[in-house]
Amino acid sequence: MAPNYLDNWRTFVADYLGQVNIGADDMRRLGVDVGGTHTDLVLVDDATGEIVLNKLPTSVGDPSVATVEGALELCAKAGIGLADVGYFMHGTTVATNIVLERNGARVGMLTTEGFRDIIHIARHKRPYNFSIQQDLPWQKHPLVRRRDRLTVPERIGAPGGDVLRPLDEEAVRTAARRLRGSGVEAVAIGFMFSFLNPAHERRAAEIVREELPEVFLSVSHEVIPQYREYERFTTTCLNAYIGPKTGRYLNNLADALRRNGLETELHLMQSAGGSATVQGAVRRPVTLLMSGPVAGLIGGIWIGRQAGFPSVITLDVGGTSADIGVAPDGGMRVKHLLDTRIGDYQAMVPMADVDTIGAGGGSIAFLDAGGVFRVGPRSAGAQPGPACYGRGGTEPTSTDCQLVLGRLNPGNFLGGRTRLDTAAARAAIARALCGPLRMGLEEAALGAIRILTHSMVQAIELNSVRKGYDPRDFALVAFGGGGPLFACDIARELSIPTVIVPPNPGLTSALGLLATDTAYDFSRTELARASRLDPAVLAAHYADLEEQAAAQLRADGIAPAAMVFQRVADCRYVGQGYEIRTVVPDGAVDVGTGPAIVSAFHAAHQREFGRHFTDKDVEIVNIRVVGIGRNVPLRLRELPHGDGRVSPVAMRDVAWETADGGWVWMPTPVYDRTTLRCGDILPGPAVVEQPDSTFPLPPGLSASVDRHGSLIVDLRNTAEKPS
Amino acid sequence: MIDPVLAARLDRHFGAGKWRADLGVEDALGGAPRVKATVSAAGRSETVTVDYRADGAASTLQAAGGRAIGICAEALLRDGSPSAGGVEDYAYDRIDPVTLRVLGGAFNAVAGEMAHVLYRMSYSSIIRESEDLGCGIFDVNGRELCESQNSPMHIGSLPFYIRGFMQRLAGDIHEGDVIIHNHPYFGSSHTPDMCVAVPIFHDGTLIGFAASTAHLLDVGGAAPGINVDVVDIFAEAKLFNAIKLYERGRRNEQVWQFYRDNVRTPEMNCSDIEAMIAAVNQGRDRFLRLVDRYGLAVVMGAANYWMDYSERRLRREIERIPDGEYRAEGWLDDDGKNWGKRLKVVVTVRVSGSDLEIDLTGSAEQTPTAFNVPFEGGLLVACYYIVRTLLLDEAEQDDFVPQNDGMFRPVKVTAPRGSIFNPTFPRACTSRFAQLQRVIDLFIQALAPVLPHKATGGNSASVMAISYSGFDEAARQYWMCVEVNEGSYGARSTKDGLDSVDNLLANTRNVPIEEIEMHYPLRGERYELRPDPPAAGKWRGGIGVVRANRFLVDGYISCSGDRHFEAPAGVFGGHDGLPGAMARNPGQADMEIWPSKVTGRRMAAGDLVQFVGPSGGGYGPPVERDPGLVLADWEDDLLTLEMARDVYRVVIDPAKGAVDTAATARLRADAAT
């Protein structure tokens, strides 16, 4: 079957059905997702489909400690040793946190004479329009300080890449020595137009290597060989900034795992999905910046596919934020390279199109200075936490509101590890909301939930409707501890017909780590009109990129039979400045390739902007090859069939929203997730409890349990909210 | 008083002489005077009263009167086919707070999406890279429900465009119309900022407009690109006053053809207009989805609520300023023709309770060039901008206060007719940014004594727009690249000024050098901080930029800027900043020092032009600056050891790379005595 997992805006999320078998069906695979609060681990036995889970607090100082400890615990649970693990995949926020906490390396930079301050000026646009008191993050916290940004005479010309001014090698050497004197740990090299001709950058890198053999080196044409000097330079500097520390962490972790018996290589989840080896990630740590959220997206896509719903919207709600992804036909969309940023910095590297918004269990509900009812993005976090945690929090949070509405069980939250104080939640809501808004308790709590729900709805709309995707064609996969709490409300709001709650909502991201292939993205700026393409040149360039990708996959130990290459061209109408990722057909690159690219681009433009222009010439800006190494498909073990009879473990009163925007308290059965069997059907209203999450099922809906244990809610043809 | 086209339509509809229009002025007690218009025909009559915000001079009275008559005529001409009322007619007291919040967010999302479509789809670098554009949704009277956060110069100008084109089109708006408009004496910001608007109909009723403005490359003026030294409005651009590109869904090919034939960059402009059409269609569709979902009354009621909300927030801040009159003045370089003739700007701020007036009386007379400011689309926008920015600084608010019509209500603006801020037809007026920036900067200086923590040192308060162009003989067409150069900020009460960034009313993005050279026969040779030390102060001023570009072929250059003479002011003991400069072939035998405005100069292949941006003023005495910050600036090659010692009284040991604390203390003690 021909590989066909890529159309416009989509990339390579694993489509395993009917795919090649790389011959290791009995492999045990381990995924570790290290988050801010918890380290989640999943072990999958491909032979049996058995899955073993583990969750422990993240070790704050050095996250590798909990990773190793958790992995050993997990193996012990499964009765194996680390040596029996055939594939080890890691999702990490280490690189992200260095950026957010601003504790990266001291970096030196070499750049073209006359352009010392490109990363200081940025795009000369300030974040806020209506402000004279704002800071410019890139000036207040520069990745490289001006004293460490040194210029050397050299210049490459456009558009041919000719040498206009030869590289002054002595100046490079002098600058390198000066940086050595300053004690930099990393050096970034960014020369103008190096994407057209990298000779000067290459030579400068050699000289720096001679003078400072120990430093981390980040060279712009290697990090991201694309045009736009600010974005390329700042990405290169960011790579240098996080390089030494990320490298140390990854090497330490790999060593520690090896010492404890791991024989296979450690793999890392990249920002656009796909895995990289430690070696690759150490060189380009900038590709790890979205390593965390992307695993959730992939996990959600995979869960959807298992349940028979390829097109999914994923909702991963944690304590402070919600990650939202839209995946049409199971394909993950990749952000445009002008929209990819981390914290305050632009990072021109492929990133999955996951939106993070400040809406989670800890989001605080309050009245602003103008008397408007708002929820989030400020969060009570884990400390002091929601008022109901009883750890000193006094402001009402989303969790407090869910609790007073009866949706959370005060005695069985996080598996009973945290007792919730309902009276404290009530008092906080009454004080902060009910009084000033002249609202009752339920009205205020429901109002806060509606506002939070709406911000998630808006984020989904921005990523679906705006891109031409109709939410009615999707299933909503809700996970993370908080996702299931909002799932049915969001689905109703957007007319999404199906809600899926995975078997272990809190461990879906870790599972996602094992549902991805190894993948690398190699690109170059091409700039050619599609109508004047020289097929021979294009074929040679694609072949070159494919060879680079193949070499990297070979280095990862991937068999040729398991390699797949996808060609992409970033295109625009001549004169436009914004490219759209366009699929290039497989097979020989010949005279038919240009017209095929053009028609694919027209279709993509129509979808993105609602218009296209067949009379205008199309231009290719960048070409890229995504090299994929197929991994073994992940299989879940199936649940035994139940007899259809489910019995609640308890009854409690829960407030449900009514059709007129009010609410009604209803006695509601409570179910224990672990007792559910395939084929069981739960009528709403119901609350399903499990250690890592709670799922409220409103009246009028019903949920069925599928063969892998996911809860499926069909919202079509069901009654509206109770009246 | 009545637009001739509108008069002709009334004649056609009711018969010549079978209708009458009356106009009167109502002096509202304690408030701004209002214009009352009545139009009667066929036994019916329509009356409307509108605000006008100027000083009562005839030109603005005329504009307000024309607008009022247009509204009445529209109602009569519609002949029963309904138009919804203005947004202020919709109550919100019965809308629940959650829906209000939801719709508030939705309005912003709609505007943001429109802008996204426009800058992602557009062609010219000034739109797609610089984002010199604005998009929003407006009610039938042009009241702003929401507007995208792109360049502030655009935000708040669209209402005047809409009222401008409605003077001619009232009653003649149909589903499927696409309107373009750029006439500065009918509300436009300046001629290159073209407006594209579509009406929004719901159940056959006109409920408002989706509109956008964007800066188009060449507009068919006397010289390619920017035109400062021109005799009148007809020499600066082709004028479009309420012209329909589509009428009831049918494309008006003749207008497109006329347009193509009369600008130097037809492909770029027409493609950009196509992108604007896509953006406004998107805005219309998204807004209609809200109306379908929540109902017109709720959507409009929520919009009304958010306007009142923004007004309330702004009034509360104005009330905190002591009542009184505050004043500052400065000088602009020249008008782009009469070199050496400085032009005075006088800003008087009057605060009374929660009302604030900005009075430009005393400023220079209108100029004989295009260095004049359209009153509505230019001056009002700048005044609304700075009142909100100074008092409700976005970076200092926990919550989002939307920019909408409510922000405009507490602010009254006065400029005498015939002055540089309120020119009379047919004066050219395309070059207006520098004057507006100075109004803003002087407004801050005027209020600095009473708002020391909100004020800044003097800002660069200019924008240097440069158009590079030439005729490509092989392609038989012009190439053109418009560059908006950045400025810098004055120092603040607790921090340094921002370096090399778009200042105040400007907030565009630069065009990457690697983008320019792939498409245009230009070469960038320098783009970095200017080498001169920043203005000294307890907090130092921001540093301007130096940028140099070389022509690789023969071509033309025009530019529009200011501030080559008067430096941004230091405040509270801070030093003054530095003025900007412009030169051709600096350091060469044929070097020319240029003024801040040139029009259509020829450049030979190999010629280089260098722009140096002004540096902002300092805040507080330099001797109070933290010595560690002085050391850091020295390490970053921003100042010399001598300057550290003489100006800041900080002694740096260059060998150790450290402050000599004891010597510094002695020096500072000496300075104090």
Judged by CB atoms closer than 8 Å, whether chains meet at B499 and A613 is answered as: no
Judged by CB atoms closer than 8 Å, whether chains meet at A458 and B106 is answered as: yes
> What's the rounded Cα separation, in Å, for the pair A19 and A630?
9
Contacts of B102 in chain A (CB under 8 A): 450-451, 454
Provide mean pLDDT across the span A698-721: 86
Residue B148, token pair as written in the block: 């995208």
**Higher model confidence: residue B441 or residue A275?**
B441
Place of tokens 């222009």: A613
Q: Which helix (DSSP H) or strand (DSSP E) does residue A69 occupy?
A: helix A63-78
Of A84-98, A197-211, B605-619, which range is least confident? A84-98
Residue B526, token pair as written in the block: 């320098």
Judged by CB atoms closer than 8 Å, whether chains meet at A610 and B278 is answered as: yes
- pLDDT, residue A44, reads 87
> What's the rounded Cα separation, in Å, for the pair A609 and A578?
12
Question: B247 CB near a chain A CB, below 8 Å?
Answer: no
> What's the rounded Cα separation, in Å, for the pair A267 and A278?
6
Inter-CA distances, B595 with A185, B421, B438, B466, B608, Å: 46, 22, 18, 13, 16
The identity of residue B379, as a single letter, is L
Q: Given CA atoms B630, B634, B639, B645 in this order, what sign does their dihedral have?
A: positive
> What's the rounded Cα separation, in Å, for the pair A666 and A655?
6
The identity of residue B435, as a single letter, is Q
- Among all residues of chain B, which has the CA nearest to that of A113? B526
Contacts of B448 in chain A (CB under 8 A): none
State pLDDT tens for residues A428-479: 999 999 999 889 999 999 999 999 998 898 888 877 765 556 788 899 999 9
Residue A561, token pair as written in the block: 């039979």
Residue A411, token pair as written in the block: 């005695």
Could you tell me if B142 and B216 are in contact, meaning their C-beta atoms sit under 8 angstroms apart? no
Judged by CB atoms closer than 8 Å, whether chains meet at B515 and A577 is answered as: yes
Asked if the model's pLDDT at residue A22 lies above 60, the reply is no
Beta strands B205-215 and B243-247 are: unpaired
pTM over 0.95: no
Residue A69, token pair as written in the block: 């400890």
What does chain B come to in residues?
673
Residue A105, token pair as written in the block: 């390396």
Residue A8's pLDDT band (cuts 50, 70, 90) = very low
Q: Which residues touch B123 (CB under 8 Å, ≥6 apart)?
A: A573, A575, A576, A577, B267, B268, B271, B272, B275
Asked if the model's pLDDT at residue A18 lies above 50, the reply is no
CA distance A347 to chain B (A): 16
Inter-CA distances, B162 with A32, B178, B187, B391, B429, Å: 57, 12, 8, 28, 19
CB hemisphere CA count around B480 (13 angstroms):
29
A170 exposure class (CB count in 10 Å sphere: 0-12, 13-18, 19+): exposed
Q: Given CA atoms A686, A687, A689, A694 in this order, what sign does their dihedral have?
A: positive
Question: What phi, psi does A507 have (nearest 5°)?
Answer: -115, 15
CA distance B136 to chain A (A): 16
Q: Given CA atoms B491, B496, B501, B502 in this order, what sign does their dihedral have?
A: negative
Q: Which residues touch B65 (CB under 8 Å, ≥6 apart)?
A: B1, B23, B35, B37
Percent of chain A with pLDDT over 90: 51
Asked if the model's pLDDT at residue A24 lies above 70, the reply is no
Judged by CB atoms closer than 8 Å, whether chains meet at B128 and A139 is answered as: no
Inter-CA distances, A293 with A34, A382, A390, A626, Å: 11, 19, 30, 21
Contacts of A128 in chain B (CB under 8 A): 394-395
Cis peptide before A159 (omega within 30 of 0): yes
Provide mean pLDDT across the span A410-436: 88
b/e A355-391 (16+ beta carbons within 10 angstroms → b): bbbbbbbbbbbbbeeeebbbbbebbbbeeebbbbbbe
- pLDDT, residue A280, reads 83
Nearest to B375 by CA among B412, B348, B346: B412
Of A343-352, A484-493, A626-635, which range is least confident? A626-635
Place of tokens 């109002």: A447
Q: What SS3 string covers B492-531?
A: CCCCCCCCCECCCCCCCCCCCHHHHHHHCCEEEEEEEECC
Q: Given CA atoms B217, B607, B434, B530 in this order, what sign does their dihedral have?
A: positive
- pLDDT, residue A37, reads 67
CB hemisphere CA count around B84 (13 angstroms):
28
| Inter-axis angle of helices B97-121 and A441-463, nearest 10 | 10
> What's the rounded Cα separation, in Å, for the pair B71 and B238?
27
- pLDDT, residue B7, reads 83
- Among all residues of chain B, which has the CA nearest to that of A140? B498
**Higher model confidence: residue B554 or residue A264?**
B554
Contacts of A124 in chain B (CB under 8 A): 486, 500-502, 508-510, 545
Helix H segments across B174-265? 233-236, 253-261
b/e B95-127 (16+ beta carbons within 10 angstroms → b): bebbbbbbbbbbbbbbbbbbbbbbbbbbbbbbb
- pLDDT, residue A21, reads 32
- Among all residues of chain B, which has the CA nearest to that of A226? B514
Facing residue for A147 by CB, picked from B524, B529, B637: B637
Q: Interface pTM (ipTM) of the complex?
A: 0.88
Could you tell me if A445 and A407 are in contact, meaning their C-beta atoms sit under 8 angstroms apart? no
Cross-strand pairs, A568: A583, A624
- Among all residues of chain A, which has the CA nearest to that of B521? A158
Percent of chain A with pLDDT over 70: 93
Provide mean pLDDT across the span A55-80: 88
Chain center to CA of B534: 27
- pLDDT, residue A412, reads 79
| Inter-axis angle of helices B381-391 and B296-319, nearest 10 | 70
Residue A104's pLDDT band (cuts 50, 70, 90) = very high
DSSP symbol at A395? S
Judged by CB atoms closer than 8 Å, whether chains meet at B101 and A369 is answered as: no
Question: A612 CB near a chain B CB, below 8 Å?
Answer: no
In chain B (673 residues long), the average pLDDT of successive 10-residue segments reads: 77 80 67 74 75 54 76 71 73 83 81 88 80 91 88 87 90 93 95 96 92 94 95 96 96 96 94 94 92 91 93 96 98 96 98 98 97 95 96 84 89 96 96 97 98 97 95 93 95 97 93 91 98 98 98 97 97 98 96 96 98 98 97 97 96 95 94 73
How many Cβ contacts (< 8 angstroms) between chains A and B? 219
**Higher model confidence: residue B102 or residue A261?**
A261
Question: Sheet containing B355-359: which strands, arranged edge to edge?
Answer: B324-332, B343-352, B355-359, B411-414
Inter-CA distances, B167 with B52, B373, B425, Å: 15, 21, 17
Residue A210, token pair as written in the block: 């001679």
Chain center to CA of B625: 35
Facing residue for A454 by CB, picked from B102, B495, B524: B102
Considering only the C-alpha atoms of chain A, give the largest distance between any 2 of them, rounded to a whole number of Å.
82
- pLDDT, residue B52, reads 62
Cross-strand pairs, B561: none
- pLDDT, residue B54, reads 47
Q: Given CA atoms A705, A711, A712, A714 in this order, what sign does their dihedral have?
A: positive
Judged by CB atoms closer than 8 Å, whether chains meet at B518 and A118 is answered as: no
> What's the rounded Cα separation, in Å, for the pair A375 and A389?
18
CA distance A225 to chain B (A): 12
- pLDDT, residue A723, reads 54
**Higher model confidence: residue A465 or residue A99?**
A99
Facing residue for B403 by CB, picked from A130, A195, A372: A130
Nearest to A344 by CA among A122, A186, A148: A122
| Inter-axis angle of helices B296-319 and B266-294, nearest 10 | 110
> What's the rounded Cα separation, in Å, for the pair A502 and A512?
12
> What's the rounded Cα separation, in Å, for the pair B536 and B534?
6
Facing residue for B123 by CB, picked from A128, A462, A575: A575
Could you tell me if B68 and B3 are in contact, meaning their C-beta atoms sit under 8 angstroms apart? no
Inter-CA distances, B34 with B25, B54, B142, B144, B517, Å: 6, 10, 17, 20, 54
Inter-CA distances, A435 with A388, A427, A428, A640, Å: 19, 11, 11, 51
